[in-house]
């Protein structure tokens, strides 16, 4: 079973468009959306949720008023000012460090595990799909990515699937690092702009740090052909294959607004390139 991760150094490059196309083209696969902070692959896949689970991570202090002696040690020691004058805990300010629990002489404080988000196992017209939603301002996105990736891998191995198609998060943070673990190849989707190349370089460096081989895909390459050549020159210097140059295509937009992948549209320039891209992935991954 091969794991193919689609990532980008920045948002808005068309990463999910490429992921959706591969989801439509690949046979016998499991799909995963590892962008748990702002998931949007589900908009193209229209999943029917079969299993819903809580994601618990981190903790918040809770004070038992019946045991509290109001000695003020917890409030004095808390560097986050999370304990009020009437000895209640502000859950927004509490960092979950547990110092107040250790300091409390009357054992009035306990640490309660947080429900930080949800994760789902769904069915789509293209096959099984594992995805998640991290709560607003919640932490530990990397742990949630690791959890859903492992769930998808277990499903793929149990069902003898050939592929895991993984939609990664933009940037180079914890979700991206967690999504890189164990993958066979990363497709870095970029755009022909200075910021597109800069951020692609950053995420390529991260992937190489974890010994993950990368390919480059340039989306809307024909909007700035000089910059496209600059990206290709960088790729040649780094010995990275540019396996797809997707043209600007209004049918991509019309497909997305209809909740479909571009592969499900009538023949178009972007569709033809993406089919060729998948043929390369399937042959060389």
Helix/strand/coil (H, E, C) string of the chain? CEEEEEEECCCCCCHHHHHHHHHHHCCCEEEEECCCCCCCCHHHHCCEEEEEEEEEEEEEEEECCCCCCCCCHHHHHCCCCCECCCCCECCCCCCCCCHHHHHCCCCCEEEEEEEEEEEEEEEECCEEEEEEEECCCCCCHHHHHHHHHHHHHHHHHHCCCCEEEEEEEECCCHHHHHHHCCCCEEEEEECCCHHHHHHHHHHHHHHHHCCCCEEEEEECHHHCHHHHHHHHHHHHHCCCCEEEEECCCHHHHHHHHCCCCHHHCCCCHHHHHHHHHHHHHHHHC
Domain ranges of the chain: 2-46+125-284, 56-115
Q: pLDDT exceeding 90 applies to what percent of the chain? A: 87
User: Can you give the pLDDT at residue 136?
Assistant: 81
User: Can you give the pLDDT at residue 278?
Assistant: 96
User: Can you give the pLDDT at residue 19?
Assistant: 96
Using one digit for the tens of pLDDT, what is the confidence trace for 168-207? 999 999 999 999 999 999 999 999 999 999 999 999 999 9
Using one digit for the tens of pLDDT, what is the confidence trace for 158-167? 999 999 999 9
User: Can you give the pLDDT at residue 274?
Assistant: 97
Assign domain 56-115 one CATH number from 3.40.50.300, 3.30.70.20, 3.30.420.340, 3.40.630.30: 3.30.70.20
Closest by CA to 16, choosing from 147, 184, 187, 267, is 187
Using one digit for the tens of pLDDT, what is the confidence trace for 54-95? 999 889 999 999 999 999 999 999 999 999 999 999 998 999
User: Can you give the pLDDT at residue 285?
Assistant: 74
User: Can you give the pLDDT at residue 266?
Assistant: 85
Straight-line distance from the first to the last Cα atom of the chain, in angstroms, rounded to the nearest whole number: 11
Q: Class for domain 2-46+125-284, per CATH?
A: alpha beta
Read off the pLDDT band of 263 (50, 70, 90). very high
User: Can you give the pLDDT at residue 187?
Assistant: 97
Using one digit for the tens of pLDDT, what is the confidence trace for 28-51? 999 999 999 888 899 999 999 999
pTM greater than the 0.85 cutoff: yes
User: Can you give the pLDDT at residue 192?
Assistant: 97
User: Can you give the pLDDT at residue 20?
Assistant: 95
Q: Round the average pLDDT of the chain to a whole number and report it.
A: 94
């Amino acid at each position: 079973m091969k794991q193919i991760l689609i990532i980008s150094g920045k948002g808005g490059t068309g990463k999910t468009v490429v992921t959706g196309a591969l989801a439509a083209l690949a046979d016998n696969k499991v799909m995963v959306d590892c962008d748990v902070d702002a998931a949007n692959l589900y908009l193209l896949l229209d999943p029917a949720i079969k299993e819903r689970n809580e994601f618990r991570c981190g903790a918040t202090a809770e004070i038992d008023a019946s045991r509290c002696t109001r000695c003020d040690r917890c409030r004095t020691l808390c560097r986050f000012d999370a304990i009020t004058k009437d000895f209640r805990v502000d859950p927004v300010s509490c960092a979950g460090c547990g110092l107040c629990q250790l300091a409390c002489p009357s054992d009035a404080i306990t640490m309660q595990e947080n429900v930080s988000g949800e994760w789902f196992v769904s069915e789509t017209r293209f096959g099984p799909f594992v995805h998640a939603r991290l709560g607003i301002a919640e932490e530990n996105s990397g742990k949630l990515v690791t959890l859903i990736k492992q769930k998808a891998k277990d499903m793929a191995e149990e069902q003898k699937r050939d592929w895991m198609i993984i939609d990664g998060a933009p940037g180079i943070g914890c979700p991206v690092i967690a999504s890189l673990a164990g993958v066979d190849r990363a497709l870095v989707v970029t755009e022909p702009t200075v910021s597109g190349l800069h951020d692609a370089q950053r995420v390529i460096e991260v992937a190489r740090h974890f010994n993950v081989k990368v390919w480059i895909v340039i989306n809307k390459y024909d909007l700035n052909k000089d910059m496209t050549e600059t990206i290709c020159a960088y790729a040649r210097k780094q010995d990275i294959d540019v396996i797809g140059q997707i043209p600007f295509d209004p049918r991509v937009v019309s497909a997305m607004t209809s909740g479909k992948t571009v592969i499900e549209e009538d023949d178009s320039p972007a569709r033809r390139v993406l089919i060729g891209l998948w043929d390369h992935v399937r042959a060389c991954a």
